[in-house]
Amino acid sequence: MTKYGNWEEIFAESMSRAGLAGWASGAGGASGVGGVQAVGRRGGFSEKGLRRLGRVLAGHVESGAVPGLVALVAHRGEVHVETAGTFEEGGAGAPMRRDTIFRMASATKPVTAAAVMILVEECLLRLDDPVDEWLPELADRRVLRSIDSALDDTVPAQRPITVRDLLTLTFGFGAVLAAPGTYPVQRAIAELGLGSDGTVPACGPDEWLRRLGTLPLMRQPGERWIYNTGSDVLGILVARVAGQSFGGFLQERVFAPLGMKDTGFHVPAEKIHRLPTSYAHDQETGKLAVWDEAAGGAYSSPPDFEVGGAGLASTVDDFHAFYRMLLNGGKSGDERILSRASVELMTMDHLTPAQKTEKDAFTEHFGTHGGFGFGMGVRTRRIDHAGVGQFGWDGGLGTTVQADPAAGLTGILLTQTAQDTQDVPRLAKDFWTATYSAIDD
């Protein structure tokens, strides 16, 4: 049976059941299983390193960890793409191609943050202003005394929610790392259909926000880092401030200028054959099970709610264009999407030490960045090959997208397999180790 929904809360729950700490979460020519494509000048990577990268990725497909994948690595002008596996489990379906479209899940978050910063630059929003004017549903908040409190056991919020709180995921509400139904607030979230029960919210964004506004916050605004929901709220904020749909704003201000022609909140009928089946793991057997089909699935038609935290579908080339813009200080060719100052704000750490501790506990299973900027992680200490300053985010449906300004490196790994067991996080870690090891400068 096909299931789909708010991945960030679903996988928080599934990882609690599995005993895991937490999670972070172009051109289109066929290249076949294990195919390689490269463009741009040579010299950024060693041939030996790229061969090893290809072997590492193919090994994870051959082991059955994922049915297929597409990976792109770019270093100071050189771009290299690897494909391996197929669209469906067991070697079935079409071979992966460079132009395969993937469900980006939480890798959507940095794009949402960029949209907000466009409005901040236009002085339509201010980082530390309350959001009450645009989001009255979130005004005059009450806050639970503790996470296990009854919904009416609350205290007043000490201050309003700000734009910065939403960007940094510190506005006081989000995913709970506990088995479903453990706490009253979790049960209320499920009863209101806010996405944590594995289904797409059966309502539009305004109704979703109205329902969210009936619940108390879990923590005081600005107090703690709590995953995911802030990015969903930001998509609604952008739409209301811009006076158009969130997807329409992204298309006009981000996707079209960057040439991101295959990115959106659904996959049109003429492209649906490029979308693989999405898999999750059965929590009892550990085997892959279909989570979302392509035709007739969650991404086959425009959604009622364009979710800013996890809703985009895209390709390696489209997301490379977005991250290349960030690495270039907000500019793509002659087109400026963001100011350099906005990119610097997005990619710097905004968390307190206490907030970083909570965030690291949530993302420990998948590797940690240490800090968090606007809609993305920011590495503040070196624990593996990746350098301090690396920024980006991963997605629970099997995606990882990061950029390293000091190394001049971008890496994008897209799979159709959820990060709800150790397999995909291990694949991601091996991808990053092999990618950094392949640099030859």
Structural contact between residues 73 and 93, judged by C-beta atoms closer than 8 angstroms: no
Higher pLDDT, 362 or 221: 221
In this structure, what DSSP letter does residue 85 have? Answer: E
Q: How far apart are CA 181 and CA 191, in angstroms?
A: 10
pLDDT for 269: 97
- Predicted local confidence at residue 194, as pLDDT: 86
Predicted pLDDT of residue 24: 29
Q: Find the mean pLDDT for residues 222-245.
A: 96
Average pLDDT over residues 179-205: 82
d(CA 366, CA 425): 5
Confidence of residue 364 (pLDDT cuts 50, 70, 90): low
Q: What is the pLDDT of residues 238-258, one digit of tens each?
A: 999 999 999 999 999 999 999
- What is the model's pLDDT at position 145? 97
Q: What is the pLDDT of residue 120?
A: 98
* Confidence label for 366 from pLDDT (cuts 50, 70 and 90): low
pLDDT at 368 (0 to 100): 56
pLDDT of residue 296: 95
pLDDT category of residue 196 using cuts at 50, 70 and 90: low
Query: Could you give the CA distance from residue 323 to residue 79 in angstroms, rounded to a whole number?
Result: 13
Q: Which residue has the tokens 């050189």?
A: 78
pLDDT in tens, 36-57: 343 344 448 999 999 999 999 9
Local confidence band at 198 (pLDDT 50, 70, 90 cut-offs): very low
Beta strands of 93-225 (E only): which ranges? Answer: 102-103, 142-144, 154-156
Burial of 379: CB neighbours in 10 Å, binned 0-12, 13-18, 19+: buried
Distance in angstroms (rounded) separating the CA atoms of residues 81 and 413: 10
What is the model's pLDDT at position 6? 45
Q: Are 45 and 78 in contact (CB under 8 A)?
A: yes
The answer to whether 357 and 336 are in contact (CB under 8 A) is no
State which amino acid sits at residue 139: A
**156 has a pLDDT exceeding 90:** yes
Q: 394 pLDDT exceeds 60?
A: yes
Lowest mean pLDDT among 138-147, 224-233, 341-350, 364-373: 364-373
pLDDT in tens, 90-128: 999 999 999 999 999 999 999 999 999 999 999 999 999
Distance CA 212, CA 231 (A): 14
* Cβ within 8 Å of residue 163, ≥6 positions away: 116, 120, 125, 126, 127, 128, 129, 131, 237
**Residue 380 gets which letter from DSSP?**
-
Q: d(Cα 395, Cα 393) in Å, to the nearest integer?
A: 7
The pLDDT confidence band at residue 367, using thresholds 50, 70 and 90, is low
Q: Average pLDDT, stretch 157-164?
A: 98
- Per residue in 133-147, pLDDT (tens digit) is 999 999 999 999 999
Is residue 411 within 8 Å of residue 401, measured between CB atoms? yes
Q: pLDDT of 301-359, one tens digit each?
A: 999 999 999 999 999 999 999 999 999 999 999 999 999 999 999 999 999 998 988 88
Q: What element of type H or E holds 40?
A: strand 36-40
* Tokens standing for residue 129: 């202003």
Q: E strand or H helix at 79, and its extent?
A: strand 78-85
- CA–CA separation, 384 and 318 (whole Å): 27
Q: pTM for this one?
A: 0.91
